[in-house]
Amino acid sequence: MSKLKVKKVIIFKHGVSYYILEGNVKGSDILELEFKIDEMDDVLKSLFVLDTSEKGYISSISYDAALDTSQLLKSIMLDIPDMDSFSSFLTQIKGANVTMTIKGGKVITGTIMGIEQIEKLSKDEKIAEKQLILLEDDNGISKINFDEIKSLDILNEDLKKDLKFFLDTVVSGKKKDAKKIMINCESGGNDTVERDIYVSYIRESPIWKTSYRLIMSKEQALKEQSLLSGWGLIENTTNQDWEKIELSLVAGMPVSFKYEFYRPIFMDRPVVRPPKTLSARPTEIEEGLEMEKFADFAMAEAEPVGAVMKEKAKRMASRAPPAPGAATGGRYQAIMGGMADDALMDKVKTQTQTQTKDLGELFEYNISNPVTIKRKQSALVPILAESIKAKRVLQYNKNENDKNPNACLEITNNTQLTLERGPVTIIYDDNLAGEAIIPFLNKGDTRLLNYAVEQAVIINHEAKSENLSVHKVTFGSGYSYEYYYTNLETIYKIKNKTTEEKELYLDHPKNYNYKFIEKPLEPEETANFWRFKIKLKPNDAINFKLKEQKENYSSNYLWNWSKDDILKRVGFYIKHKFIDQTIETKLKEIAELIQNLQDTTTSRNKLNEERNLMTNEQARLRENISVLGDDNQSVTLKERYIKKLSDQENRFEEISINVKKLEKEIDALNKKIQDKMDHLKV
């Protein structure tokens, strides 16, 4: 790992970094890299190694298996515990050929048979001793106390490899979350030449973050300029120090993903069992198939804000010249050590050496000065120092602050850089003005940064709406549609209590389907607001009135109206000349037909009601008849009831005939009315 040094790091905004490492080797050598298990997928899918010499080459790249220690040790038969390691090991290699050196320097060669434990008395205490039972080469069996054994050499090479593998695996297992990659470098025959090896890969990393400082003097405010200083926050989460590396920060969102590359992937395969029959037999093979006294705002009285600013600058320029030796331009008196604007800009640019590169979908900041960040530490790195266009304005949105506007800087990215989103600290006239967020800005983009609330400017708003009279009528599908305008008037009462000229951006919400019929000046349009740029004089108060209008309508279903209702509306339409005599005639015909329909429907309903009552009466009569006896009085009542039933039955049939006749008339009237309504168009 020490042979490979980080040479360059490129950090992206989507959670990965690209690393370039460099190392030197002679002859055949192995370069090691160590990563966390979760990083191995990204590293393995992107790893690239290059030997730049003429003959040297990379023979292979090996890495630790994606298995835990217990899984790896299953491949060998050894399992050496932390206690009694020696005796436990010897027990497991029973039958192995060994060579031992014991006290006195005597060398014994033989085969391990086992271990025995014997107890001895020493000063009235029992002491357990272990002895190794060894079958010597001359077939003699020896018992050797453990305290006599000075060294032991295993003659079986496979056992030696297993023991070495066991110990290496246990050591690497202590670092549970680490895996190594070994780069095997070959000299190609010339072992005396020092060769350069380059390694590159990507790995998951924290995104780089951006913060800004916007520094503006009063003189710069008149010129609508500001110093923008940008810093990138970088975090080195790797296990290597970054010593004077090349650092690049890339803005943009390239495609990136995780791919399961490190852990072994086994496919499910069908199990095919061997045949149980021994003999072959013939088979058939199938074929596959959103206050005061105020003067109204007048557009003619408003001087352009730019003209006011220029006049201010002229007055400033006409003042007495500075004393000999004094710096010209604005000064940052305290925190900037009394430096003039130009001197400050030059100094900041000197310490911020960044080359930029437009990569199409991406934008790169190349930090020219070497960067050093120790492992597991973070750093702020200067990435830009530019003079940008910035204007102090006020912005009011009644949905955000009801009484006061926001103090804002309107900045324009007139640099050749793409600005990443990030927090910005605003210093005005050598004091903290506030903080804001700079959004992602492409070259030429303009945005408002609200950094404070201007409490010395007070705004009240009033809104009222009224519906005007009907101005148009249309008909269709049995409805009459009466159109009228709704006027919405909004008055903004604006009081500037300061002694300075102010420019206010008044954001008036867009109201669906409303159009301006009165406005003091033309607005700019944003996605959800109409933006009016208003000049506010010192200690002045104005009324800013806006009137909007949209067309509404109410619908009336003619079928639900009576003849009188229709005739009243017809009289209203004629009076206001919404319809002509032809339509008047058609509407009166419809009114007459609707009256006939309603009369006919009423007659039918009365007959149905009479029939229902008659049905109930007949049921009562039949019940009375059923309980009468055979005496004279009962016979007389039966005759009375039967006659009444007979009369009602005749009336029942008569009603049924009349109801059918009326229903036919109703159907005909419905069709006739519908036909006339279908042909009623205005």
- The per-residue pLDDT for range 177-202, each reduced to its tens digit, is 678 888 999 888 888 888 899 999 99
If one compares 406 and 324, the residue with the highest pLDDT of the two is 406
Q: Which residues, other chains included, contact 305 with Cβ-Cβ below 8 Å and sequence gap of 6+?
A: 501, 503, 533, 535
DSSP-based three-state secondary structure for 258: coil
- The per-residue pLDDT for range 123-154, each reduced to its tens digit, is 667 777 888 888 888 888 888 888 788 888 88
Helix-helix angle 581-627:563-575, to 10 degrees? 170
- The per-residue pLDDT for range 203-226, each reduced to its tens digit, is 988 888 999 999 998 888 899 999
> Any idea which residue has 């001087």 for tokens?
303
Segment of 55-69, 257-271, 654-668 carrying the highest mean pLDDT: 654-668
**89-171 CATH pick, 1.50.10.20, 3.90.1150.10, 2.30.30.720, 1.10.530.10:** 2.30.30.720
Q: Does residue 324 register a pLDDT over 50?
A: no
Q: Nearest-CA neighbor of 232 among 11, 6, 8? A: 11
Q: For the chain, what is the mean pLDDT?
A: 81
If one compares 120 and 356, the residue with the highest pLDDT of the two is 120
pTM beyond 0.75: no
Q: How far is CA 216 from the centre of its chain?
A: 34
- The per-residue pLDDT for range 554-603, each reduced to its tens digit, is 998 888 888 898 899 889 988 988 888 888 888 898 899 989 999 999 99
Tokens of 211: 């913060």
User: Per-residue pLDDT averaged across 243-272, rounded?
Assistant: 75
Helix (H) or strand (E) holding 171: helix 157-174
User: Per-residue pLDDT averaged across 153-159, rounded?
Assistant: 82
Tokens of 63: 């890495």
Going by DSSP bridges, is the β-strand pair 242-251/29-36 parallel, antiparallel, or unpaired?
Answer: unpaired
Helix (H) or strand (E) holding 440: none
DSSP-based three-state secondary structure for 609: helix
Tokens of 154: 């295993």
Q: 37-67 burial by CB neighbour count: b if 16+ within 10 A, else e?
A: eebbbbbbebbebebebeebeeeeeebbeee
What is the distance between the alpha carbons of residues 10 and 207, in angstroms, rounded to a whole number?
11
Quick one: CATH architecture of 563-678? Orthogonal Bundle (1.10)
Phi/psi for 187 (5° steps) reads -80, -25
Strand ranges in 397-501 using DSSP code E only, listed in sequence order: 406-412, 422-428, 431-438, 446-453, 457-476, 479-496
Position 639 scores a pLDDT of: 79
DSSP string computed for 13-71: TTSEEEEEEEEEEESSEEEEEEEEGGGHHHHHHH-EEEE-SSS-EEEEEEE--SS-HHH
Q: How far is CA 6 from the centre of its chain?
A: 33
In this prediction, residue 424 has a pLDDT band, given cuts at 50, 70 and 90, of very high
In this prediction, residue 320 has a pLDDT band, given cuts at 50, 70 and 90, of very low
Position 334 scores a pLDDT of: 42
Q: Does residue 92 register a pLDDT over 80?
A: no
Q: Does residue 288 register a pLDDT over 50?
A: no
Position 344 scores a pLDDT of: 57
What is the distance between the alpha carbons of residues 137 and 128, in angstroms, rounded to a whole number?
28
Query: Is there a contact between 558 and 480 (Cβ–Cβ < 8 Å)?
Result: yes
Instruction: Give the sign of the dihedral formed by CA 518, CA 523, CA 526, CA 530.
Output: negative
Query: Is there a contact between 481 and 549 (Cβ–Cβ < 8 Å)?
Result: no
Position 266 scores a pLDDT of: 62
- The per-residue pLDDT for range 500-520, each reduced to its tens digit, is 999 999 999 999 999 999 999
Tokens of 280: 């072959």
Q: Nearest-CA neighbor of 466 among 572, 556, 576, 548? A: 548
If one compares 281 and 539, the residue with the highest pLDDT of the two is 539
How many residues belong to the chain?
Answer: 682
Query: Is there a contact between 103 and 148 (Cβ–Cβ < 8 Å)?
Result: yes
Q: Nearest-CA neighbor of 129 among 141, 120, 138, 139? A: 120
What is the distance between the alpha carbons of residues 245 and 248, in angstroms, rounded to a whole number?
10
If one compares 345 and 601, the residue with the highest pLDDT of the two is 601
Q: How far is CA 662 from the centre of its chain?
A: 69
- The per-residue pLDDT for range 55-77, each reduced to its tens digit, is 888 898 888 766 555 555 555 66
Instruction: Give the sign of the dihedral formed by CA 111, CA 114, CA 119, CA 122.
Output: positive
What is the distance between the alpha carbons of residues 96 and 156, in angstroms, rounded to a whole number?
7
CATH class (in words) of the domain with range 4-68+178-204: mainly beta
Domain(s) of CATH 2.30.30.720: residues in the chain? 89-171
Query: Is there a contact between 425 and 402 (Cβ–Cβ < 8 Å)?
Result: no
In this prediction, residue 275 has a pLDDT band, given cuts at 50, 70 and 90, of low
If one compares 344 and 27, the residue with the highest pLDDT of the two is 27
Domain(s) of CATH 1.10.287: residues in the chain? 563-678
Query: Is there a contact between 210 and 422 (Cβ–Cβ < 8 Å)?
Result: yes
178-186: strand order across its sheet:
29-36, 178-186, 57-63
Q: Nearest-CA neighbor of 477 among 612, 674, 241? A: 674
